[in-house]
Chains A and B, each alone.
Chain A
Amino acid sequence: MTLLYPLQSLAAHPPRLSPAYRSTVKRSPQKPLIPIRQTLSELTGPVYGHETVREHDHDLTIQHKGEPLGERIIVHGHVLDEDGRGVPNTLVELWQANACGRYVHVVDQHPAPLDPNFTGAGRAQTDASGYYRFVTIKPGAYPWGNHHNAWRPAHIHFSVFGHSFVSRLVTQMYFPGDPLFPFDPIFNSVTDEKARARMISSFDLENTQPEWALCYRFNIVLRGRNATPMENKQ
């Protein structure tokens, strides 16, 4: 099955130059992008088997000797295309700060404690219906120096593949009701309110596990609709 990838779908993305997020000023192109046709190169993408994802890679709370501190949560959902079809067997990667808002990355010098029992990286492969599931710790908000008193709302970074190299998506999942939303230039770089809302997970009481963990649902919608047979010209 090969999908078409209409360019109109890209309107949901933030503009690359978004001056309130200061680092975009020197890292966004000033010349117009050149439109090209989607060829086999763009319409195909990496296929990986189970060797990429190990049995416990989806559970960030059991990667070390002890249990990490913080609020244990389940994050799950479907990876979908624009027609709402699940994207099967696709790789979902995740990375995040710990419960205190500190990343293990050496460059992160936020004076909040590291947790020896938490790295903050995970990966999963969607099942035949496009479903994925992680167990992790709710990340904390953290300061980032973009402007006076700048704090990122709590978020989890996601990297998803989909059916082709042009369906590739890197995004961030937010938590419902975060008071920092109005003040965050990265979240608000997405100018359409409905599109912004698609980055916010929903609290999932039904799948919250009694006496164990709250659950959040985050569906990820990738480019692509209208399956068509791929032309096979040599």
Chain B
Amino acid sequence: MSEQRPEGITPSQTVGPYFKYGLTPNGEYAWNDAFTNNLITPDVSGERIRVEGTVFDGDGVPVPDCMLEIWQADAQGRFSDPQDARALPNSSFKGFGRVGTDAKGGYVFDTIKPGQVPDPDGKPQAPHILLAVYARGMLLHLYTRIYFDDEAANASDPVLALVPEERRTTLIAKRKAGAANPAYTLDIHLQGDNETVFFEV
């Protein structure tokens, strides 16, 4: 089928400024969304949560042409992917979401709080959501993680342990006081003093 073994991977290029009508049309263009920022399915079990924030550039200016994608386990810590041999076919929860930032650089995801996922040694990781960041001016997307400030398991998480303590807060979403439903805030700083911790993975 393929003529020969490839010499290498296809390089990444930026999503550019005009991805919205193709990837995150959200009713504004004559095209439908393959994915949205609402991961909640009617039958899903677990705590329904909202995660929101703003994406900033190195000048502290909000980034209105950014795309965020998340990937996460369900409340039992299982992924909706046959590669996770522990997957439970008990829910239509897909675990993947996508959103384009709004004019003020803001984003919102509605999802469920993920359960704990083991690391390669079988040690539990604290509940977390993977986040990929794409934008005009980004030639290659960045990977980070969203943790939650009300999880005691953060203290023993093997990935957080690799992050200098003073930078861990850039990965930990803060629960908002007084919100009717559980809501967490996490801003993304592409550069600068509060630069988000990004992972090489």
List chain A positions with a Cβ less than 8 A from chain B: 1-2, 5, 7, 9-16, 18, 21-31, 33-48, 52, 63-64, 78, 80, 82-86, 91, 93-95, 97, 103-108, 119-121, 123, 129-130, 157, 159, 163-166, 168-172, 186-187, 189-190, 194-196, 198-199, 219-223, 230-234
B: interface residue count bin: 35 or more
B81 and A41 contacting across the interface, CB-CB below 8 Å = no
Query: Could you list some 18 contacts between A and B, CB below 8 A?
Result: A16-B138, A30-B192, A30-B195, A33-B198, A35-B162, A35-B199, A39-B119, A41-B79, A41-B125, A42-B130, A45-B96, A46-B81, A91-B34, A165-B130, A170-B14, A171-B11, A198-B6, A222-B10
Known: A24-B139, A46-B80. A40 touches B118 (CB 8 A): yes
Residues of B within 8 A of A (CB): 1-2, 4-23, 25, 28-31, 34, 57-59, 61, 63, 65, 69, 71-73, 79-86, 94-96, 117-122, 125, 128, 130, 132, 134-143, 158-159, 162-163, 167, 190-192, 195-201
Report whether over half of chain A's contact residues are helix, strand or loop; otherwise say mixed: loop
- Flag if A13 contacts B140 (CB, 8 Å): yes
> Which residue of chain B is the closest to A64 with respect to CB atoms?
B30
Bound-complex Cα distance A28 to B143 (A):
12
Question: Would A39 and B117 be within 8 Å (CB), given that A26-B58, A234-B122 are in contact?
Answer: yes
Within the assembled complex, what's the spacing in Å between the Cα atoms of A108 and B136?
Answer: 13
Q: Please state if B12 and A103 are interface contacts (CB–CB under 8 Å).
A: no
Question: Quick one: which of A11, A83, A121 has the most chain B CB within 10 A?
Answer: A121
Assuming the contacts A14-B139, A21-B137, asked whether A45 and B9 have C-beta atoms less than 8 A apart, the reply is no
Task: Assess whether B190 is in contact with A29, with CB atoms less than 8 Å apart.
Answer: yes
A96: nearest residue on chain B (CB-CB)? B22
Q: A34-B162, A103-B21, A104-B29 are in contact. Are A44 and B83 (CB under 8 A)?
A: yes
Contact (Cβ within 8 A) A165 B31:
no
Q: When the two chains form their complex, are residues B17 and A107 in contact, meaning their CB atoms are under 8 A apart?
A: yes
Given A44-B79, A186-B139, A104 contacting B21 (CB threshold 8 A)? yes
State whether B198 touches A34 (Cβ < 8 A). yes
